[in-house]
């Protein structure tokens, strides 16, 4: 059985020591970073299985670090913070976090969240790739190439594209996409999804007004297909 490697990111040495001791005694390999920039470098170099990332750090916040780490890291990220408002949680999830733990927390709760995140991560099947002359999507490395140029997507844009690509050829309802990407409380927030779809089309479609990849299913939702598989009569641009 492989031992999972956890990257603990916190500017407080005492907190890092406590987490290292607890996590190590529970069978994990632990590596540490004391700031956001160091975390970004270690995420690329060490490829940990999970990152435990503090929000409140000097110079670079955990939220900013999370967004930058997400450009090249697909594994689970659990944010740790003293903030407990709904908006704070939304901001953390929008930055690319998979989970959110509020200080002070019990070690039992933290260990349970780590185990759950690792289970979800290890149970995933290999992610599909899209490779065409005009569009390349590598979900593992979170890279999107459009006509030979790398395109930057926001975390939400990438998460929506990721879901559509994984379910390639299937029509996904607005509600399903919203619940999967935004969470169960956002099933009716279709305007959020509409904005993200518009931005995605501007970034990956040659003609956003007549999309070939992200196709609208009228009154239902959206579907991702390669151009050769998209029937002309269903290439709707209406939202």
At 98-113, the pLDDT tens digits run: 888 888 888 998 999 8
Q: Where are the domains of the chain?
A: 5-122, 129-234
Asked, as a colleague might, if the bond just before 231 is cis with ω within 30 of 0, I would say no
pLDDT score for 184: 67
Residue 79 near residue 62, CB atoms below 8 Å: yes
What pLDDT, on the 0 to 100 scale, is given for residue 35? 95
Q: Which helix (H) or strand (E) holds 120?
A: helix 107-122
Query: Which range has the worst mean pLDDT, 39-43, 72-76, 135-139?
Result: 72-76
d(CA 7, CA 117): 14
Quote the tokens at residue 74.
């697909």
> What is the structure's pLDDT at 116?
87
Write b or e for each residue in 59-72: b if 16 or more Cβ atoms lie within 10 A of its Cβ, otherwise e: eebbbbbbbbbbbe
> What is the band of 54 on the pLDDT scale with cuts at 50, 70, 90?
very high
Helix (H) or strand (E) holding 106: none
By three-state DSSP, how is residue 52 classified? strand
| Distance of alpha carbon 224 from alpha carbon 177, whole angstroms | 12
Q: Residue 57 in contact with residue 35, Cβ under 8 Å?
A: yes
What is the CATH architecture assignment of 5-122? 3-Layer(aba) Sandwich (3.40)
Question: For residues 113 and 115, what is the distance between their CA atoms, to the nearest angstrom?
Answer: 5
What topology does CATH give the domain 129-234?
A: Arc Repressor Mutant, subunit A (1.10.10)
**Dihedral over alpha carbons 175, 177, 179, 183 (to 10 degrees):** -140
Single out the residue of 81, 75, 85, 171 nearest to residue 124, CA to CA. Answer: 75
Tell me the pLDDT band of 228, cut-offs 50, 70 and 90: low
Predicted structure pTM score: 0.57
């Amino acid at each position: 059985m492989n031992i999972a490697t956890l990257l603990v990111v916190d500017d407080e040495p005492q907190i890092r020591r406590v987490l290292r001791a607890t996590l190590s005694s529970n069978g994990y390999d632990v590596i540490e970073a004391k700031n956001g920039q160091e975390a970004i470098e270690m995420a690329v170099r060490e490829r940990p299985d999970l990152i435990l990332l503090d929000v409140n750090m000097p110079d670079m916040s955990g939220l900013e670090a999370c967004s930058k780490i997400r450009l090249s890291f697909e594994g689970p990220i659990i944010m740790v913070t003293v903030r407990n408002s709904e908006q704070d949680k939304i901001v953390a999830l929008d930055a690319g976090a998979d989970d959110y733990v509020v200080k002070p927390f019990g070690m039992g709760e933290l260990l349970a969240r780590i185990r759950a995140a690792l289970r979800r991560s290890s149970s995933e099947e290999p992610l599909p790739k899209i490779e065409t002359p005009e569009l390349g999507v590598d979900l593992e490395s979170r890279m999107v190439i459009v006509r030979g140029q790398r395109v930057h997507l926001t975390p939400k844009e990438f998460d929506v594209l990721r879901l559509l690509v994984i379910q390639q050829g299937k029509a996904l309802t607005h509600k399903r996409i919203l619940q999967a990407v935004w969470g169960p409380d956002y099933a009716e927030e279709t305007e959020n999804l509409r904005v993200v779809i518009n931005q995605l089309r501007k970034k990956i479609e040659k003609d956003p007004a007549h999309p070939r990849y992200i196709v609208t299913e009228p009154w239902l939702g959206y579907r991702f297909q390669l151009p050769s598989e998209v029937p002309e009569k269903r290439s709707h641009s209406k939202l």
